[in-house]
Structure 1
Amino acid sequence: MTSRTTAAAMIVAAALVNIAFAVLGAVFDYPDVLGHPPAEVLATFGAAEVTVAGWFAVLALGAALQAPIAIGVGRLSDARAMRWAVPVGIAAAVVQVIGLLRWPLLVPGWAAAAAGGDPSAVDSFATANRVLGTIVGETGGYVLTAGWTALVLVALGGRFAGRAFTVLGAVAAALILLGVLSPLDFPLVDLANFAGYVLWSVWLVVFAGILLIRARRQTSSSARVRATSTS
């Protein structure tokens, strides 16, 4: 993972996640649909199964890119915080992918069984939502994504890209972490968590831009050194 490939992964991840989230909101009323009765969610899913399952796969792909991003960012510093950040970032990708892939891999079968009158399919779906969705994918994802962001900021320090970059990342991480309170139905928690992910996407794209600028400067500097040595 060079600086350029890391930057590309950041931009692609931010684009995939936000586009997929927007489309799922339009065609599946996601994530609000999760507050509906499980049988109703399965029926809604079944009405647009191919589209919904496909976009959840795209969302999972965007989340999976956090693993190579964590590896690439890990090469920017040898600080202890960064050594922790790499496995935390990979773990964040893993738990989110596990949570999201239940939609294209498991839910189609439950939706078909529920449509055929099998009540156990609804129970299985509800259990998967609690375990794979709320506990693993969401809560695990919130904690690990926020933790990775904080560790990266600590490792890089304010000199890497200035105070605004650090503040943006810190605020995004704090708002994402608030998502762990979502099951308690505190007011505005879900909105704050959503805002956190939007800010985090912006921070990721800004991060990518910084990496590309630094890579260009290093290339130009190397070219000047080679030109000087051969003159």
Structure 2
Amino acid sequence: MSPKVTGSLLIAAAVLANLAFTALGSLFNYPDVLDEPAGEVLRSFRAHEGAVSAWFSVLALSAALFAPIAIGVRRLSAAPAMRIAVWVGIAAAVVQVIGLLRWPILVPGYAADGNADAFRTASDILGTAIGETLGYALTAAWTLLVLRALGRAFAGTWFVALGTVAAGLVAVGVISPLDLPVVDDANFIGYVLWSLWLIAFGVVLLVRGRRAVAAP
């Protein structure tokens, strides 16, 4: 893939994710709705099933884009860290897609049957353990590996600083199941900053065209 395509995918992934997250927050009170009892979550889902399923599909699409993004970014550097990053990025895409697609694929059946126990099990395994915990860890790791490979020479100190702070705050989400204070807020801020970093990354690639930077 050319840097132009990679840059476009970076921007598209960030925009789609934020559109979907905003829509789900408005329609479904997501993610706060997950703090309610399983039965209440299923009733809320049933009330807007079509739209909620569609927006979760968009969110899954934005996560899936990180497989080709990881491959495209790999072409920017021959550093050892980047060779690891490509597989970490693909893994991050896979686990997040698995976690998110439970909503349009499995949850409609749970909502129709009122099967709160199955919903909780799917949420704990596919959502919390795989999609979120592994997703946070792999996303943060991919970001840090890419920054290590590209270094400050790629776009300057601001690019490294923004990505590092964002990755650190995203990684905090790994301990979210412990229900510690400010963890969820820190993770949310991390994803906002990470979205800005992705867009900035994409813009740099689009502006620079085919110019690639090798790691020191």
Tell me how far apart the structure 2 counterparts of residues 133 and 38 of structure 1 sit (CA, whole Å).
Answer: 14
Q: Which residue of 1 aligns with 2:81?
A: 81
- The amino acid that maps onto 1:196 is G
Match of 2:103 in 1: 103
Among candidates 147, 167, 171, match of residue 173 of structure 1: 167
2:149 counterpart letter in structure 1:
A
Pairing of 1:94-133 with structure 2 (within 5 A): 94-114=94-114, 121-133=115-127
Does residue 60 of structure 1 match 2:60?
yes
The answer on whether the counterparts of 2:57 and 2:104 sit within 8 Å (CA) in structure 1 is yes
SS of aligned partner of 1:99: helix
Distance 1:64 1:152 in 2: 18
* Match runs of 1:71-220 below 5 Å: 71-114=71-114, 121-215=115-209
Larger Rg: 1
Alignment partners' CA distance in 1, 2:191 and 2:206: 22
- Would the alpha carbon gap of residues 91 and 217 (structure 1) be closer, same or farther in structure 2, given more than 3 Å must change? closer
Question: Structure 1 residue 11 and structure 2 residue 11: aligned?
Answer: yes
Count of aligned pairs: 212
Higher RCO (CA-CA < 8 Å; seq separation 6+): 2
The change in CA–CA distance for 1:216 and 1:79 in structure 2 (over 3 A counts) is: closer
How many Å apart are 1:213 and its aligned residue? 1.5
RMSD: 1.0
| Superposed displacement of residue 165, structure 1 | 0.3
1:187: Cα distance to partner?
0.8
How far apart are residue 211 of structure 1 and its match? Answer: 0.6
Give the distance between the partners of 2:71 and 2:45, measured in 1 at CA: 35
- The superposition leaves residues 143-191 of structure 1 with CA deviations (integer Å, 9 ceiling, x where unpaired) of 0000000000000111111100000000000000000111111111101
- Measured in 2, the distance between the counterparts of 1:176 and 1:139 equals 10
- Equivalent residue for 2:29? 29
Could you state the TM-score of these two structures normalised by the residue count of structure 2? Answer: 0.96
Question: Match for 1:150: what amino acid?
Answer: L
Q: Which residue identity is paired with 2:47?
A: A
- Alpha-carbon shift at residue 12 of structure 1 (Å): 0.7
Q: Which runs of 4+ in 1 moved over 2 A?
A: none
TM-score by length of 1: 0.90
